[in-house]
């Protein structure tokens, strides 16, 4: 299996570059390689750019990557507030996934089963229930969610609004 390319080399920035500098490089290259502009020929380059940006945009992932590279200084090593130290990067436990879905890192207070796929990869069902009950209702009816049907149903039942008895004002359910 081929080794992934160095994300710094893909984006054409130095390892000590600041996050805004890396962001500018990513955006400039993404505009030039986007498949909507250059056709399907730009897809492999766009995938490499996205993979590099995924690693370098997050201080913890960046520090974790830098910790695996011999001789590469970490932003937090010299007293900089740019990112976590090498010790902090290594302190990530196995319960914290390196990859998260498009929704980003989990918000905290985990409860229930942890998803390893989709938009909320790395999130637990309890965290998703607090932020996006519509996704849980959708997932319950999908084949990917079959293993979680009982847990999702219990969460959705718990979140169902009450207080619509006679004389009680109706509460509007907003889903979040």
pLDDT of residue 106: 75
pLDDT of residue 103: 66
Looking at the chain, which residues constitute the CATH 1.10.287.110 domain(s)?
7-90
pLDDT of residue 163: 54
Q: Which residue has the tokens 């293993």?
A: 147
pLDDT of residue 94: 45
Question: What is the C-alpha separation between 71 and 111, in angstroms, rounded?
Answer: 39
pLDDT of residue 148: 92
Q: Work out whether the CA dihedral 125, 131, 137, 141 comes out positive or negative.
A: negative
The answer, as to whether pTM is greater than 0.75, is no
Which CATH superfamily groups domain 7-90? DnaJ domain (1.10.287.110)
pLDDT of residue 71: 61
Query: Which of 113, 126, 121, 74 shows the shortest CA–CA distance to 97?
Result: 121
- pLDDT tens per residue across all 176 residues of the chain: 345 788 999 999 988 888 899 999 999 998 888 888 887 777 888 889 999 999 999 888 888 888 887 765 544 444 444 444 444 444 554 444 444 556 667 777 788 888 887 778 888 898 888 888 888 888 998 888 899 999 999 988 887 765 555 555 556 666 65
Question: What is the C-alpha separation between 62 and 167, in angstroms, rounded?
Answer: 56
């Amino acid at each position: 299996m081929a080794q992934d390319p160095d994300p710094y080399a893909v984006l054409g920035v130095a390892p000590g570059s600041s996050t805004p500098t890396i962001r500018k490089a990513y955006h400039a290259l993404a505009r030039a390689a986007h498949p909507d502009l250059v056709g399907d020929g730009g897809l492999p380059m766009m995938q490499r750019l996205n993979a590099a940006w995924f690693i370098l945009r997050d201080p913890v992932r960046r520090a974790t990557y830098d910790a695996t590279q011999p001789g590469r200084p970490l932003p937090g090593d010299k007293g900089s507030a740019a990112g976590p130290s090498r010790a902090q990067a290594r302190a990530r436990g196995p319960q914290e996934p390196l990859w998260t879905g498009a929704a980003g890192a989990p918000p905290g207070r985990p409860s229930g089963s942890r998803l390893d796929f989709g938009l909320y990869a790395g999130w637990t069902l309890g965290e998703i229930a607090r932020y996006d009950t519509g996704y849980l209702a959708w997932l319950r009816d999908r084949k990917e969610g079959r293993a979680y049907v009982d847990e999702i149903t219990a969460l959705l039942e718990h979140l169902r609004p009450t207080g619509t008895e006679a004389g009680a004002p109706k509460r509007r359910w907003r889903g979040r």
